Amino acid sequence: MLDLTLGADRFDRSAVPIDDLILDYTLQTCPDERVEWVKPAKIDGCVGALAMGDTRPPRWGVLYHEDQTIGRRNYTLAHELAHWVLHRATLTDSVFCSADEVFRGVGRDIEREADEFAANLLTPLHDFRRKLPAVARPDFDQLGEMADRYAVSLTAAILRWLEYTEVRAVVIVSTDGYANWAKSSKPAFSSGRFLRTRNEPFELPQASTAVRGEFTNETRAGVKRPADVWFDEPVVELSIRSDRFDREITLLHLERPGPVDQAEEHVEDSYDQFFKDGGRRR
């Protein structure tokens, strides 16, 4: 619908104007239950909320935690808009959303639905694929350009790319040499290339950039690691560090093609396991 009204080249001009979209769309589609305001706030333990008013039918407001980056803020707002669009008819009170619920869809079905809605709204796959083909092996600069195009976080852009890429790749977010979570592309997962955490955190290889702490232009662009550093095959390892969030992001590109149509019983990777457990593992 946005392509039809704003043009298929709309992202060449700007990302989704989420603040205006929330106010205008809700007013035009359901004025008696519209979102009347979008405001920053300090919300303990939460990054966003859809606040229910006292009128009947209720009118609504959207809160977002004021300390978020622009990219995370936009995703939070899209997530809260999803609750208004998809769930307001069944809500009996305001909805307060943690970071895991907004950015990972953790918890109730409505959080996963809102997370998917936000991804489709802000980073539509048809445009993402057009700019970054499924066979591409992007570096952080290219993925950062996608994050800028859609005004989302780098992590959100990487996870969106992993949904459709045809190459074998793994992303790992870590702190102090331990994986917080990891996510594999479908081809990588099908070939058994994933990290798994169970009762203890996954310790990154001692030869990895994240453990050595040697973040340079070379490690950002990609360093070839031999077999048995990460897996029993060589990988190209790209790594950066975010001091603001006290974490490292590692992207692994596996060079050999994976199996075709290899059907396996589903095994949770560490991304699934970490957020299924509520993000408590470090």
CB-CB neighbours of 201 under 10 Å:
18
Reported as a pLDDT band with limits 50, 70 and 90, residue 106 is low
Q: Which residue has the tokens 């190209």?
A: 236
Distance CA 116, CA 105 (A): 8
Do both 102 and 193 map to the same domain?
A: no
Q: In this structure, what CATH number is given to the domain that contains residue 93?
A: 1.10.10
Do both 25 and 84 map to the same domain?
A: yes
Q: Quick check: is 142 in a domain?
A: no
Do both 117 and 171 map to the same domain?
A: no
Do both 91 and 180 map to the same domain?
A: no
Q: Quick check: is 180 in a domain?
A: yes
Dihedral angle sign, alpha carbons of residues 99, 253, 204, 216: negative
194 torsion bin: left (phi>0), alpha (psi -120 to 50), beta (else)? beta
Percent of the chain exceeding pLDDT 70 equals 89
Given 96, 122, 148, which residue is the final one in a domain?
122
Do both 263 and 172 map to the same domain?
A: yes
Do both 117 and 15 map to the same domain?
A: yes
133-167 per-position pLDDT tens digit: 999 999 999 999 999 999 999 999 999 999 999 99
25-84 per-position pLDDT tens digit: 999 999 999 999 999 999 888 999 999 999 999 999 999 999 999 999 999 999 999 999
Given 93, 122, 151, which residue is the final one in a domain?
122
Where in the sequence is the domain holding 235, given as residue range(s)?
167-276
Torsion of CA 231, 232, 236, 238, to 10 degrees: 20
Q: Which two tokens stand for residue 41?
A: 């706030």
Q: Quick check: is 102 in a domain?
A: yes
Q: In this structure, what CATH number is given to the domain that contains residue 199?
A: 3.30.450
- Asked if 281 contacts 274 with a C-beta cutoff of 8 angstroms, the reply is yes
Distance CA 64, CA 102 (A): 11
What's the predicted TM-score (pTM) here?
A: 0.86
Specify the DSSP element, H or E, that contains 140.
helix 140-150
